[in-house]
Amino acid sequence: MATLATSAFGLLAVGTAPSALAASGTLGQLAAAQGRYFGSATDNSELNDSPYTAILGSEFNSITPANSMKWDAVEPQQGQFNYTNGDAIVSFAQSHNQKVRGHTLVWHSQLPSWVSNLPSSQVQAAMENHIAKEAGHYKGKVYAWDVVNEPFNDDGSYRTDAFYNAMGKDYIATALKAARAADPSAKLYINDYNIDGTGAKADAMYQLASDLKKQGVPLDGIGFQGHLAIQYSVPSNIQQNLQRFADLGLDVAFTELDVRMQLPSDSTKLATQADYYRQVTNACLAVSRCVGMTVWDFTDKYSWVPNTFPGEGAADLYDDNLQIKPAYTAVSNALGGSGGGGGGDTTPPSAPSGLTVTGTTATSVSLKWTASTDNVGVTGYDVYRGSTKVGSATSTSYTDTGLTASTTYSYTVKAKDAAGNTSAASSAVTATTQSSDGGGGNPGTGAAKVQYKNNDTSPTDNQIKPGLRVVNTGSSSLDLSKVTVRYYFTGDSGATTFTASCDYAAIGCGNITQKIVALSSPKAGADHYLELGFTSAAGSLAANANTGDLQIRINKTDWSNFSETDDYSYATNTSYADTTKVTAYVNGTLAGGIEP
Ligand code: G2I
């Protein structure tokens, strides 16, 4: 059976053009099926962004550190080497089965001033030492090195940087030889921009490459950065340009591809951009020695473009929210894929769980939930109020604003992945905004007040556990039998009957009475209150004295769970503090606090 199935697939694969098969797969998988890699730049700070790394680790089979292997990062002072950040990138790559393109050993930019300030006679030794140490450190761990980066000016003349000034153009051969000695198995590249199509700069690179090959200098490939912009035409003759370098016996690769535009983006510009990406991908596929492509980060969230070209951006395959753009689909299709994003991934994330209300004001509701999981990676969440999507989050919390006071809202959350798959909705929670007089209202006669602490570790379990104490704020003794206290809450779903108990009272539980009262017109966070009273044996409180700790517990008669965070009297403090949201009465008249 296995043999039959294999040969049937083989026949189909031979007889059918890749594009007609529309395979599913990540960009890395699709490129691998074409004998190539598909990579992205990345940077250390980005590795803390888990929706980002979910895509970086799954979609790409090569990565390039955008900054952490550059001279200023690795040897900021002469002879002092720091590989921490570069090692972190290598380690990410190793744990995700990715190649690493090392970038870059010799470059005029991000070069510490100690190098440029060296006497000319010392530059070569410093360069050779830098290459020996860094390429030696990463020996066997990088697939390729951009040994020399950006040696040319746009007119094809040599850039007169510290290396050229000290050694003339021979610095390039010297650098390549030093790199070969340090890591014999790494592919050694010269890398530059504006050489993607034919022109003076590409011609200069061609002349250099051809001279170096003739001289037997160890050069394995040319990197075409591919920093394109839709306001300029697609570089001319990309395929022919790549091919002439390949014909010298060199590998070629797009090493930093992106296609920027003037902002704001719109659907027309995004379609043009997609077409540029498609043309570059097709050119690479048409040249057998075009070994792979790397995008200079895959998401607009981390693009270098806006910092360098103000007013431009949106250059990458994924947008700021890690959602695929038409450019992604174009590349995937060109590689023979279905273009669906996430490599034809059709599995939605799990529904978010544990949705809870973490706070309310008169005009806002704050929510949190537990992260969803996904076969590729969760890229974000959409938050719904009723059936209206009110916002999106990449973390697991959200605050909905602009709401009306004393109003109950229902929320659900859905998770998304990079392919655009959306999870089922979470279970709903309701939240009631606070009343708009939360800061005002009738503060009472001032004869008594309540202090509160929360004795409950879980606001979603089956009990409400307030700690309460009554303070006599008057100047004469207060007869406790005339005092009552109200703690306001909502019963949520389940039973509408309740039991209240006293766990501990400094004045004795036997001296306390409890009853639960339903509000005839429910308020924000309150459809019931617990009313505490005191027996005549409770005695009286001297001025400024308090009753001491009263530890109370409320449960529903069916023991179903509460959702306490939206309760009027609920707060999170675990030590006693004044509250206005638990009210005190003397002879039935409000003495302290504010009713809901
Ligand atoms: O400029 C785009 C690329 C052109 N080809 C060579 C690449 O090495 C270059 O990459 C970019 C990085 O993507 C940027 O992240 O090189 C820039 C510097 O030339 C990098 O930008 C720098 C910022 O300018 C600095 O302010 C910042 O401290 O990144 C540094 C580290 O985050």
Q: What number does the ligand 1 atom closest to the CA of 45 have?
A: 32
Same structural domain for residues 459 and 413? Answer: no
Same structural domain for residues 115 and 31? Answer: yes
Contact yes or no for 183/139 (Cβ under 8 A): yes
Beta strands in 175-282 (DSSP E): 187-192, 221-224, 227-229, 251-262
Same structural domain for residues 322 and 467? Answer: no
Q: Is 256 designated active site?
A: yes
Contact yes or no for 503/573 (Cβ under 8 A): no
Mean pLDDT score, 76-104 = 98
- Note the pLDDT of residue 344: 54
Mean pLDDT score, 207-224 = 98
Q: How far is the CA of 144 from the centre of ligand 1 (A)?
A: 19
Record the pTM.
Answer: 0.63
Cα–Cα dist 322/417, whole Å? 9
Same structural domain for residues 428 and 454? Answer: no
Contact yes or no for 409/362 (Cβ under 8 A): no
Same structural domain for residues 287 and 375? Answer: no
pLDDT at 4 over 60: no
List the domain range (segments joined by +) for residue 483. 448-589
Q: How confident is the model at residue 406 (pLDDT cuts 50, 70, 90)?
A: confident
Catalytically annotated residue among 75, 134, 150, 564: 150
Residues near ligand 1 (Cβ within 6 A):
66-67, 109-110, 149, 225, 256, 304, 308
What pLDDT, in 10s, does the model give residues 238-277?
Answer: 999 999 999 999 999 999 999 999 999 999 999 999 999 9
Q: What number does the ligand 1 atom closest to the CA of 149 have?
A: 6
- Note the pLDDT of residue 342: 54
Mean pLDDT score, 429-434 = 86
pLDDT at 488 over 90: yes
Segment holding 430, helix H or strand E:
strand 429-432
- Note the pLDDT of residue 358: 87
In terms of Cβ atoms closer than 10 Å to its own Cβ (0-12, 13-18, 19+), residue 339 is: buried
Cα–Cα dist 471/465, whole Å? 19
pLDDT at 479 over 70: yes
Q: Is 484 inside a domain boundary?
A: yes
Mean pLDDT score, 488-505 = 95
Q: Is 128 designated active site?
A: no
Same structural domain for residues 460 and 370? Answer: no
Cα three-residue angle 149-152-158, rounded to 5 degrees: 120
Same structural domain for residues 422 and 472? Answer: no
Same structural domain for residues 285 and 173? Answer: yes
What pLDDT, in 10s, does the model give residues 9-61?
Answer: 333 333 333 333 456 789 999 999 999 999 999 999 999 999 999 999 999 99
3-state secondary structure 126-195: HHHHHHHHHHHHCCCCCCEEEEEECCECCCCCECCCHHHHHHCCHHHHHHHHHHHHHCCCCEEEEEECCC
Q: How confident is the model at residue 340 (pLDDT cuts 50, 70, 90)?
A: low
Cα–Cα dist 539/21, whole Å? 87
Cα–Cα dist 257/473, whole Å? 72
Q: What percent of the chain has pLDDT over 70?
A: 94
Cα three-residue angle 17-20-25, rounded to 5 degrees: 100
Domain boundary pick from 432, 459, 478? 432
Mean pLDDT score, 101-108 = 98
pLDDT: is 360 or 536 the higher one? 536
Cα–Cα dist 411/97, whole Å? 40
- Note the pLDDT of residue 6: 33
What pLDDT, in 10s, does the model give residues 503-516?
Answer: 999 999 999 999 99
- Note the pLDDT of residue 347: 81
Pocket test for ligand 1, best of 74, 304, 316 (most atoms within 8 A of CB): 304
Q: How far is the CA of 227 from the centre of ligand 1 (A)?
A: 13
Query: Of the ranges 327-336, 440-449, 477-486, 538-547, which one carries the lowest mean pLDDT score?
Result: 440-449
Segment holding 416, helix H or strand E:
strand 408-417
Nearest residue (CA) to ligand 1, atom 1: 304
Q: How confident is the model at residue 433 (pLDDT cuts 50, 70, 90)?
A: confident
Q: What number does the ligand 1 atom closest to the CA of 41 have?
A: 13
- Note the pLDDT of residue 21: 46
Mean pLDDT score, 228-234 = 97
Average pLDDT for the chain: 92
Query: Of the ranges 5-19, 162-176, 211-225, which one carries the lowest mean pLDDT score?
Result: 5-19
Q: Please state, as a whole number, how many other Cβ atoms lie within 10 Å of the Cβ of residue 395.
A: 11
- Note the pLDDT of residue 378: 82
- Note the pLDDT of residue 379: 82
- Note the pLDDT of residue 14: 35
pLDDT at 172 over 60: yes
Same structural domain for residues 418 and 467? Answer: no
Q: How far is the CA of 265 from the centre of ligand 1 (A)?
A: 23
Q: Is 455 inside a domain boundary?
A: yes
Same structural domain for residues 31 and 151? Answer: yes
Q: What number does the ligand 1 atom closest to the CA of 308 have?
A: 1
Q: How confident is the model at residue 420 (pLDDT cuts 50, 70, 90)?
A: confident
Q: Left if phi > 0, otherwise alpha if psi is -120 to 50, otherwise beta: which for 490?
A: beta
pLDDT at 3 over 80: no
The dihedral over CA atoms of 418, 420, 421, 427, expressed in degrees to the nearest 10, equals 100
Q: Is 12 inside a domain boundary?
A: no
Count of domains for the chain? 3
CATH code of the domain containing 42 = 3.20.20.80
DSSP per position, 540-590: EE-TT-B---EEEEEEETT-PPP-GGG-TT----SS-EEESSEEEEETTEE
Q: Please state, as a whole number, how many other Cβ atoms lie within 10 Å of the Cβ of residue 346.
A: 13
> Taking Cα atoms as reference points, which of 196, 377, 215 lies closest to residue 290?
196
Q: How confident is the model at residue 421 (pLDDT cuts 50, 70, 90)?
A: confident
Nearest residue (CA) to ligand 1, atom 31: 67
Same structural domain for residues 471 and 426? Answer: no
- Note the pLDDT of residue 8: 33
Cα–Cα dist 221/183, whole Å? 15
Pocket test for ligand 1, best of 64, 67, 194, 309 (most atoms within 8 A of CB): 67
> Taking Cα atoms as reference points, which of 105, 110, 107, 108 lies closest to residue 138?
105
What pLDDT, in 10s, does the model give residues 376-389?
Answer: 778 889 999 999 99
